[in-house]
Structures are given as C-alpha cells and as structure tokens.
Structure 1
Amino acid sequence: MRRNLFTADHEAFREVVRELLEKEVVTRFPDWEHDGQVPRDLFTRLGGLGLIGTAIPEEYGGGGQEDYRYNVVLQEEAARALVTLGTLRTQLDVILSYFLAYADEEQKRRWLPGIAAGELLTAIAMTEPGTGSDLAGITTRAVRDGNEYILDGAKTFITGGLLADLVIVVARTSTDPENRRAGLSLLVVEDGMPGFTKGRRLDKMGLKAQDTVELSFAGVRVPVANLLGEEGQAFGYLGANLAQERLAIAVGSVAQAAAALEQTIAYVKERKAFGTPVASFQNTRFELAAVSAEIEAAQALLDRAVSEHVRGELSVADAARTKLFCTEMQARAVDRCLQLFGGYGYILEYPLARLYADARVARIYGGTSEVMKLIIGKDLGL
C-alpha cells in the first residue's frame, strides 16, 4: 500500500544509506557476525557522511534535523539489505535522546561533536542481574564525595558496552522508603576510569553482530560534571524516552518481517517440490497472502505512530500498542516464512534462520510483551 510518511529529503537520505550498505556493509557483515561486533570504522564512516548526527544541532557538529523519520529510514534499509548495524539503533534511538535532552552546555560541547562524528560510541546501563524491567529496584549505588560520585554495582545485557566510550549508568544516589522511584540519577562513566570493568561478551541466540556485555563498577570515581540532568530525577527521564525506544523496536520488527517475506517469495518461485515450484501450491499462496496482510496492517499502525511521534503526540500507551502488535506480528510472519523454506530455513546459510533468531528478542527488550499489555490495560482503566 502507498505510504505518505516520507518527504523527498528522506528519500534522498535513503539513497545514500542504501548505497553505503551495498558497498561497505553487505560483504563484510558475515565477518562482523563471526566477530560478535561491528568495527569502529563503520561508525566513523557513518559519522563522516552525516548519518549519525542528523538530530544533533549544527553547533555541535550535527545536521540539525530532529526528525525521527531519518532513523526509520536507516532501520528499513538495513533490514532490506539483510544486515544489522550493530549498536547504531540503540545509540540513535535510545541513548542520544538523553544527551540531547539532559546534557548541559558544557557537556554538549564535550560529547556531542564526537558522537556526531562516530568517534565517541555510547551505551546505557540500566538492567541489573536481579531487576529486569523493574527499574525502581536498581541497587547500583553512587555516593557523593565532594566533586565526585563513588559508583559501585553491576549491570548486565548492556548493548554496545564493549566498544562504548561513554556509558550512561542509572544509579541510586538516595533512598526514599516511601517512593522506590525516587533517588535515581544518570552518571556518564567514561571508558578507562579506574574501577570500571567491561566483562564478558554474552553469547546470544541472535543479533550476533551487536555486542552485549556485563559491566561492573568498583569504587569508580565519576566527576559531578558527568551527572546528566538533575540528581534523583532519572526515573522520570527514563520514562519520557520509552515511547521512542519501543517505537524503534517496532520499526525494526516490521522492516525485518517485510524482508523475510521478500526473501520467501523469491525462494518459493525457484524451489521445486514433487517437480513443481513451491509457489504454485495453494498452501504457499495462502500462507504468504496472510503474512502480507499482517505486514500491511502493522505498517499502517507503525506509520501512524511514527507520524504522531514526529509531532510530539505519541503516548506511552500507544507506543506500547505499536510495539506489542508489530513484534508479535514479526514472530508469526518470520515463523511462517521459515516453514516455507523447509529444512533450509533452519540452516544459517539462508537469511531466514538469522531473521528468525534475531526476531525473538523483540518481544523481550524495551519492555516485554507482558509489560506492554499491563501498560495498555492501565490505559483502558483496568
């Protein structure tokens, strides 16, 4: 169906991204998956082309285009090329928002030019071994000592933590027995600070080119100048950005489901069973017709949500609805596509196997499907 989400500028941006992926990413991607990370030179290359700093103001080395649709284009083109760009989505859709919204002038001048250039890589450390989605249960602690905080604790499932130069750490700076959400702060920990250790790289089922690690902090002295926003206000900051984070996951889910459908259509036209192309079987047509209809429905919902987000009107509940529907749709679509590949769908030489493995986490990170239902239920007054 025809989409009216993008302008001519977005489509010109799409052409630049598509050419870059074809020339510099697609052939190298298998090596990145084997290595468990993308090389730093990808980020500097993207930064040099202005693809990372589109939302960063011009005075800090960016493009000054605070338009989320450019991020959408990046995800769609990566999915179309059957690659992932490591931690780039997390940096652009999640982490950058905190720097833009809460950094003071000195911090912006210190960090944003390097981020825009792809020279400073970032991560955000929220999840702890015992907390999961319960951010109010964070136990990593930072105690003020003069002009520094002394940071102690551990984080896990940290996307991009291995390569990160700057890690936004959610830590408890005070305790209020009557309000578990109070007293959380954001501290920017810099790579190389004594006591900051990057632990083992977690061996995931999917998203192999995206490094995910454990981090530990043992008496790390973080300057007060690295406090992002106001002390004790982090829970509100985290909640304010959840809508975009969940929307970004939905964007990837729909784009990857569409890529799975495209690959499957091409495959069933070539593959023969009992001397006949698999595409000629009624079951094949019915299955792919159903997948196509689901993708179109999800795309329509997603485009509406993106439009509302660009206008600053997307609610937390509607972002949850979008993530829930699109990620659950992705799971069904990719599973049905893999089935039509038969045994080859289970072999990693074929893209469906990777798309299937990569899809599973979409219903977990950024808030599980069950958490999305809780949010939606609350919005319904239940």
Structure 2
Amino acid sequence: MVSTMEINKDDSRSFLTEEHLLFKQSIREFLAKEAVPFYDQWEKEGGIPCSFWKKIGDNGFLCPWLDVDFGGIGADFGYSVVLAEELEMVGSALGGISIHSDVVAPYISSFGTIDQKQRYLPKFISGELISAFALTEPGMDSELGDIQTTAIRKDGYYIVNGAKTFVTNGFKADFMIVACKTDLNAVHSQGGISLLIIDKDTPGFSRGRKLGKTGQGCLDTAELFFDDASVPVGNLLGEEGKGLSYIMQKLQQERLMCAIGSLMAAKEMLHLTMNFIRGRKAFDKKISKYKNAQFTIAEIATDIHLGRTFVDGLICKHMTGANIIAEVSMAKYWITEMSKRISDKCMQLHDGYGNIGDDKIAQRHRDIPLTTFFTGTDETVKTLIAKNIGF
C-alpha cells in the first residue's frame, strides 16, 4: 500500500493539492490490484479487456473534469495529469485510457450539442463506452487539409467514404470522432473539414485488422473503413467546416498529455536501471561503483529533472487557459526524443539482460519510440514551432 506521505515525497509540485494526492493514492492502489498483475498477459493477448474499462470507470477515475451535470466532479487538469502518470507507471499501452478521458471527451464537452453530451459523456465516465479519434489516413502527409475521407450531405445523412489508420482504441471503440472533408471545393489551407461522431453499428462502417506494433502490444490500434457509411446529420460535432479549427484548439492538451506520459516513462526507466545496477557486479565490483555508470545515471537524472521542470511549468500555464501551443510542441518533441535516448542508455547499463524480451526495461525500450509519432511526427511538430516563433 502506498501512503500519502510516500506520494508527497515524490510529488511536491506546485499544482498538486492534497486532494490530487489522495486521488493519486486511490488510482495507484486500484492499478496495483486491477492492472499490474495482468498487464503482461494483456500485452501477450494484444488488448485490454472491456471489463477493465468498466472497473476504472466504476471507481470514478475517468473524466473527473466533466461538469456534474454529466457525472463528473468539475475537477481541474491536475487530476488528468495524475491519471496519465499513474497509467504510464504501469505501462505505456494504458495510454489509450488517457486518450479516451482527456483527448476525445473534451471534443464532445466543448463542441457537442446538449443531446450529444447527454448521450455520450455519462458513458465516457462509467467506462460503458470506449471512444477513439480518427484523423490519420493511409498515405496522408503532415497537412491536415489533405484529408481524403469525404462526407457528402444527402437526405438527412452524411454519406462517408474513405479510410483511417493508426486509430488508438479503434478496434474496440463503440464510437469514434472522424475528421472528414465536407466541402470538396474548399481552399486547401481552410480544408473544408468537419468532425462527425460515428457509432460502431453505422451501416457502411467496418474495421480492418488490429495493427501489430513493435511496442505497446495491448494498446488497441486499428484501421477503419467507410463505404457509403450513413451518418445522421445530427452527429455533426460543432459547425460544418470548422473541424481544423477544433483540432488546433485541442492540440495543445493532446501534445501536453503526450509529453507527460513520455516523461513518466523515462522516470520509470531510470528507477528500473538504478535498481538493477545496485544489485549487479562486474569483475567483483558493484556496477554502481563504476564511474561510467554513475555518470550515465547522473546524465539521465538531469535530463528528467529539466524535463519535469519544463513540463510542470506548462501544466500550470495550461491550467490557467494560456495559449502555449508552441511551448507544448517543443516539450512533446524534445521529451519524446529524450526518452528514446534514455531508453538506449538504460539498455546499455542492463547489459545482456536488457535484451531479454520479457524484461521490463526491454519492454520500455520497445514502447518508447512510438511516442515520437503521436500527435504528429517530429517534422510536423518542428514546422509548427518554427511558424509560431515567426520563422
């Protein structure tokens, strides 16, 4: 059992209150019982069971920031940070739960009609519904305006045609928010993109294969196909043609969540490595006594401390509603790349044991490279940074 005192030692951070720490303690104890013992099996099976989603919802950990009218408690973003970090401590593949709770749900909360909010949001919280956001397409480049999936309005429906790929939660999702081109004549820079809520039983919708990945084995990732899929016009999210604007509004939080998860993964790799080398010897001398090991650990700890300071400052700014998309993009790019470097150093310090497939450090080493592609490739993120600093 983890005490509040133990949590406080690790998290004396300005935005965390006693209530946040109690929330953290509850999540950690829940995950220790309901996730940690089963995580390796979920990795082998390639998915997290729906029963776990229901359990985490029943315990009140999903979307606590939602208004009380829809079942939330109106909590601040600090609770989302706590949830993301505790999930990452168990394993990166639990990140789909944060995407559901803190990436997809905010779209409906911000842009949905009262009917849409009442229909979906309470079941976001309970874990009864699993959600996904479908943006990326096969062969799509970094320009969001290049979306090829079309949605043509006809007789009270949008007729949707196209395909999406790399959709997190896509294989099990009960519904997904799908970015579609609704104005085929729109200027490229404006895109003519709209967001539609598409339920899993929509005629003309089908799922492709569950995508295999080099890491994050139980993170549900899928292809989605739309062949004259008939979506009621009432499932339009927000206003027609404003999809790109909505995506840009939510990109700040999405990239911040990615940076938070990657930073926690780096921290976990440091702890794994320190614990490993403390108990190992080489040439009758503890590895921890070698200067090279000490220097490497010092470098890793310094990187993590700098990253934590940067990200915690961004969290505080984000909680005040500040526009920090450029800074958040910097954090996402730099921290995901930093975590990759750290994983290589940690593997080196584990020597041959790091190459054992079931070892935790090997799992982290497989998982962490995928984060560099989340919310946009490094090149896409750097392009946005350059534009935002006036270059």
When the two structures are superposed, what TM-score results if normalisation uses the length of structure 1? Answer: 0.97
Matched, 1:26 2:36: yes
CA distance in 1 between partners of 2:165 and 2:91 (Å): 28
1:217 corresponds to which residue?
226
CA distance in 2 between partners of 1:122 and 1:178 (Å): 31
2:302 corresponds to which residue?
293
Deviation at 1:83?
Answer: 5.8
Matched, 1:17 2:23: no
CA distance in 1 between partners of 2:300 and 2:106 (Å): 34
Backbone CA RMSD of aligned residues: 1.4
Which sits farther off after the overlay, 231-240 or 356-365? 356-365
Deviation at 1:177?
Answer: 5.0
2:118 corresponds to which residue?
109
Matched, 1:8 2:18: yes
The one-letter code of the counterpart of 2:112 is A
Deviation at 1:134?
Answer: 2.0
> Which residue of 352, 368, 375 corresponds with 2:384?
375
Change (3 A) 1:84 1:361: closer
1:254 corresponds to which residue?
263
Secondary structure of the corresponding residue to residue 213 of structure 1: strand
The answer on whether the counterparts of 2:152 and 2:160 sit within 8 Å (CA) in structure 1 is yes
2:278 corresponds to which residue?
269
Change (3 A) 1:381 1:53: closer
Secondary structure of the corresponding residue to residue 85 of structure 1: helix
> Which residue of 195, 205, 212 corresponds with 1:203?
212
Change (3 A) 1:124 1:76: same
CA distance in 2 between partners of 1:86 and 1:316 (Å): 21
Change (3 A) 1:32 1:132: farther
1:145 corresponds to which residue?
154
Deviation at 1:322?
Answer: 1.2
2:59 corresponds to which residue?
49
Change (3 A) 1:76 1:50: same
> Which residue of 335, 340, 354 corresponds with 1:331?
340
Secondary structure of the corresponding residue to residue 352 of structure 1: helix
The answer on whether the counterparts of 1:269 and 1:277 sit within 8 Å (CA) in structure 2 is yes
Once superposed, which parts of structure 1, at least 4 consecutive aligned residues long, lie more than 6 Å away? Answer: none
The one-letter code of the counterpart of 1:283 is N
Percent of aligned positions that are identical: 36
Change (3 A) 1:83 1:177: closer
The answer on whether the counterparts of 1:61 and 1:113 sit within 8 Å (CA) in structure 2 is yes
Which sits farther off after the overlay, 346-355 or 6-15? 346-355
The answer on whether the counterparts of 2:343 and 2:365 sit within 8 Å (CA) in structure 1 is yes
CA distance in 2 between partners of 1:112 and 1:381 (Å): 39
CA distance in 1 between partners of 2:89 and 2:213 (Å): 23
CA distance in 1 between partners of 2:73 and 2:356 (Å): 42
CA distance in 1 between partners of 2:297 and 2:249 (Å): 38
Secondary structure of the corresponding residue to residue 228 of structure 2: strand
Deviation at 1:180?
Answer: 3.9
CA distance in 2 between partners of 1:244 and 1:347 (Å): 36
The one-letter code of the counterpart of 1:17 is I
2:4 corresponds to which residue?
none
Change (3 A) 1:191 1:178: closer
How many pairs were matched up?
381
When the two structures are superposed, what TM-score results if normalisation uses the length of structure 2? Answer: 0.94
Residues 320-346 of structure 1, C-alpha deviation per residue, up to 9 Å, x if partnerless? 111122112111112111110011112
Residues 151-195 of structure 1, C-alpha deviation per residue, up to 9 Å, x if partnerless? 111111111011101111111111235344331111111011121
CA distance in 2 between partners of 1:211 and 1:86 (Å): 10
The one-letter code of the counterpart of 1:309 is H
